[in-house]
Amino acid sequence: MKELIKNALILFAITLVGTILLAISYQVTEEPIKLQKAKQTAAANETVMPGADFEPLVDLDLTKHEKIDSIFAAKNADEIVGYTFKLITDEGYNSGLEIIVGISLEGSVTGVDIVKSSETPGLGAKADDPEFKGKFTDKPLSELTVVKGSAANENEIESISGATITSRAVANAVNEAINYYNNELSKGGN
């Protein structure tokens, strides 16, 4: 009986030390991880809206827009010139896409950047290629549709060969940003 209690106490002590070390490592790494994510978002914002300063919009009701993580006002000399949207979607083939979309007040998509992707290398990962992301630039603020083969209309995006699911996931995220902009921000809802 004494041996059983002794073994239980040793196991408890090992578990306690492991838990404490895990908690300490979490606290030590939490802030650097947040800073790195903020740097990635800032770099992506700059990619889709070059030369602008970015200010996060707070107190927004995003409950109906579950893909939208955050929205930034893009400013030039303290004047809003557009918005950037950080969207997180699990619609991709392997899920886990984080996308930044820029929208100008002039009524077009200024760019798309992939902040994080867990898509298949060589297929879905091509969503981060400039050639694919460039297909969204200067698109009008109406619903975009992914098509196989060449895009015939201005609201069509040619899918990545072999990665239609990922192509649709990116387009759906862009559409979410467009819908929010059209229904909330362009009407003075910020």
Contact 144, 174 (CB under 8 A): yes
Q: Which amino acid is at 180?
A: Y
Query: Over the stretch 74-125, which tens digit does the pLDDT of each residue have?
Result: 999 989 999 999 998 877 556 678 899 999 999 899 999 988 665 555 555 5
Beta bridge mates, 186: none
Query: Over the stretch 142-182, which tens digit does the pLDDT of each residue have?
Result: 888 777 877 767 777 777 766 667 778 888 899 999 999 99
pTM: 0.79
Beta bridge mates, 108: 140
E strand spans, the chain: 53-56, 68-76, 79-89, 97-104, 109-116, 145-147, 156-158
Question: How would residue 24 be classed by pLDDT, with cut points 50, 70 and 90?
Answer: very high
Number of other residues whose CB lies within 10 A of the CB of residue 147: 15
Provide the 3-class DSSP secondary structure of residue 117. coil
